């Protein structure tokens, strides 16, 4: 049997095993409920399709035959600067729209600066701002004690900038805007070097049009985390593993799911090791570099130990206060569908659309995009999406799927590759713009947008 035939056979076996496992789990526990059967089936099928399309890419990337590397395109500095200014202009439009809406619809009578603080005040912002001002506490009100579940890197950045702004909310806005503008530059650079400048600007447009992109302005970790993820991707594109791992370390010190960034780095490293002439030496160097990423999460565990006396106290708080534990990603769609149906039946249309239906749409939409485009992105990035989606969407009480998927950059790259035809690009851009405006409207009106 030829190597190609063996690889094809392995692909089929892996696809069949994965599909059989997903089908068993789904049929055994979830499809008896006809209310949720449609969304659970769609979720599982789309995830399975993305996985099945990824497996041949995976085995080919780890084959002993040297992989042909896509030639890197030029990325002029002026274009990167234009990308930065485009995201800055996007934030300016958000601020203007917010101020006009608050004045004319909500009866707001404050200053423009006060309206910015109002826009930045998202669901969990108060926690990050309190940590920035007072760090963590182990006594006092329960609401302050359980803030240990929020990781410290973003509050530390706010603390540093607050020495300049003299205001913590304004400092959070400055950090978020600067990080998101820099992240937009990274999006452009990543896509432009991979697929060309036109693709780079398409990726930048989708970066701003994705529903929930207004969260990049808020006092939340989205802008910092997406910047760290995209910097890692850019370094990985150039096979600069140590800087990539440092970015992964910071991401793991920003959000718990940051540890998943070990997946694309390790995936790319294994591919290089397989095709290296000195495998043992290369493997040792890569292993040492890879260990840098978990250091960020270990630093957070040290904070837990220092504040509470327990390395994993945050898990206890997550379970007791937020009812969070790791589960199956398709179980998330199940209970979200049930809640959506319940809210619609009770007449709570705003809550149903602002929270539950938005969450379901974000998950199915991301899966549909990646199922269609996973073969067109770098294999390491495809592996990252599968791991990230399975873990981040698998928590037992998920309210923020649009926000969490916003930072999963392979979706942007897949969108960019899918829209090379102008008609598809225009249609999808209009659809995302409409969805973004509707979601922003829900956020401004205080609907259950987390």
| pLDDT single digits (tens) 89-108 | 999 999 999 998 888 776 67
Q: How confident is the model at residue 294 (pLDDT cuts 50, 70, 90)?
A: very high
Stronger pLDDT, 32 or 215, i.e. the higher one: 215
Q: What is the pLDDT of residue 328?
A: 85
Other beta carbons within 10 Å of 303: 18
Work out the average pLDDT over 242-258: 97
Asked if 29 and 22 count as a contact pair (C-beta separation under 8 A), the reply is no
Q: pLDDT per residue over 209-241, tens digit each?
A: 999 999 999 999 999 999 999 999 999 999 999
Mean pLDDT of 56-79: 73
Quick check: 22 pLDDT over 70?
no
pLDDT digits (tens, 9 = 90+) for 324-333: 888 888 889 9
- pLDDT of amino acid 234: 95
pLDDT exceeds cutoff 90 at 302: yes
State how far the Cα of 386 lies from the Cα of 366, in Å rounded to an integer. 11
Structure tokens of 105? 């619809």
Is residue 71 scored above 70 in pLDDT? no
* Whole-angstrom distance, CA of residue 300 vs CA of residue 148: 10
Question: What are the structure tokens assigned to 320, written together?
Answer: 């007791």
pLDDT surpasses 60 at 441: yes
Dist CA 412 CA 370 (whole Å)? 9
Instruction: Identify the bridge partners of residue 326 per DSSP, sorted by sequence position.
Output: 395
Instruction: Specify the pLDDT at position 277.
Output: 76
Q: Which two tokens stand for residue 294?
A: 């978990």
Q: Are 173 and 154 in contact (CB under 8 A)?
A: no
Q: What is the mean pLDDT of the chain?
A: 88
- The answer to whether the beta carbons of residues 201 and 185 sit under 8 Å apart is no
Average pLDDT on 349-369 reads 93
Residue 385 has pLDDT above 70, yes or no: yes
Q: How far apart are the first and last CA of the chain?
A: 54
Which whole-number Å values give the CA distances from 123 to 103, 131, 364, in the listed order?
Answer: 22, 15, 24
Average pLDDT of the segment spanning 278-303: 92
Residue 255 gets the label, from left (phi > 0), alpha (psi -120 to 50) or beta, of beta
Rounded-to-integer distance, Cα 326 and Cα 329, Å: 9
Residue 179: what pLDDT? Answer: 97
Question: So what's the pLDDT on residue 43?
Answer: 87
| pTM of the predicted protein model | 0.92
> Under a CB-based contact definition with an 8 Å cutoff, are residues 366 and 408 in contact?
yes
Distance (Å, rounded) from C-alpha 22 to C-alpha 19? Answer: 5
Task: Encode pLDDT of 115-159 as tens digits.
Answer: 888 899 988 999 999 999 999 998 888 888 999 999 999 999 999
pLDDT computed for residue 56 by the predictor: 87
Measure the CA–CA gap between 215 and 439, rounded to whole angstroms. 11
User: What per-residue confidence (pLDDT) applies to 13?
Assistant: 64
Distance, CA of 38 to CA of 334 (rounded, Å)? 9
Helix (H, G, I), strand (E, B) or coil at 326: strand
Q: Which residues of 83-104 are buried (b: 16+ CB within 10 A; e: fewer)?
A: bbebbeebbeebbebbbebbee
Cα separation values, 230 from 167, 186, 222, 322, Å: 29, 6, 12, 29
- Of residues 408, 148, 450, the one with CA closest to residue 257: 408
The burial class, CB within 10 Å (0-12 / 13-18 / 19+), for 37 is middle
The average pLDDT across 13-30 equals 58
């Amino acid at each position: 049997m030829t190597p190609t035939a063996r690889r094809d056979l392995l692909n089929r076996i892996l696809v069949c095993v994965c599909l059989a496992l997903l089908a068993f789990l789904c049929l055994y526990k979830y499809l008896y409920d006809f209310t949720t059967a449609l969304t659970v089936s769609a979720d599982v099928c789309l995830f399975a399709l993305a996985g099945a399309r990824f497996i041949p890419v995976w085995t080919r990337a780890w084959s002993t035959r040297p992989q042909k590397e896509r030639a890197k395109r030029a990325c002029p500095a002026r274009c990167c600067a234009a990308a930065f200014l485009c995201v800055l202009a996007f934030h300016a439009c958000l601020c203007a729209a917010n101020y006009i809406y608050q004045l004319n619809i909500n009866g707001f009578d404050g200053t423009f600066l006060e309206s910015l603080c109002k826009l930045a005040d998202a669901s969990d912002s108060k926690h990050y701002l309190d940590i920035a001002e007072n760090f963590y506490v182990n006594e006092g009100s329960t609401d302050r004690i359980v803030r240990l579940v929020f990781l410290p890197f973003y509050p530390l950045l706010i603390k540093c900038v607050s020495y300049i702004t003299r205001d913590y909310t304004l400092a959070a806005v400055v950090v978020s805007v600067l990080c998101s503008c820099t992240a937009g530059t990274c999006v452009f650079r990543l896509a432009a070097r991979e697929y060309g400048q036109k693709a780079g600007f398409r990726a930048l447009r989708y970066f701003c049009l994705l529903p929930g992109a207004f969260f990049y302005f808020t006092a939340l970790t989205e802008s910092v985390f997406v910047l760290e993820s995209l910097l890692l991707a850019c370094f990985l594109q150039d096979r600069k593993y140590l800087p990539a791992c440092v970015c992964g370390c910071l991401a793991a010190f920003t959000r718990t799911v940051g540890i998943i960034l070990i997946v694309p780095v390790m995936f790319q490293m294994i591919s290089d090791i397989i095709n290296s002439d000195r495998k043992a030496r290369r493997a040792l160097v890569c292993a040492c570099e890879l260990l840098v990423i978990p250091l960020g999460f270990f630093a957070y565990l040290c904070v837990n130990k220092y504040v509470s006396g327990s390395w994993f106290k945050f898990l206890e708080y997550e379970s007791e206060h937020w009812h969070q534990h790791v589960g199956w990603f398709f179980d998330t769609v199940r209970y979200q569908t049930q809640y959506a149906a319940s809210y619609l039946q009770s007449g709570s249309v705003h809550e149903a659309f602002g929270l539950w239906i938005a969450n379901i749409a974000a998950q199915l939409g991301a899966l549909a995009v990646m199922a269609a485009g996973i073969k067109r992105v770098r294999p390491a990035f495809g592996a990252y999406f599968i791991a990230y989606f399975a873990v981040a969407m698998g928590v037992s009480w998920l309210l923020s799927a649009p926000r969490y998927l916003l930072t999963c950059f392979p979706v942007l790259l897949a969108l960019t590759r899918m829209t090379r035809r102008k008609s598809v690009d225009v249609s999808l851009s209009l659809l995302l713009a409409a969805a973004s405006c509707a979601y922003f409207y829900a956020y401004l009106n205080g609907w259950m947008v987390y």
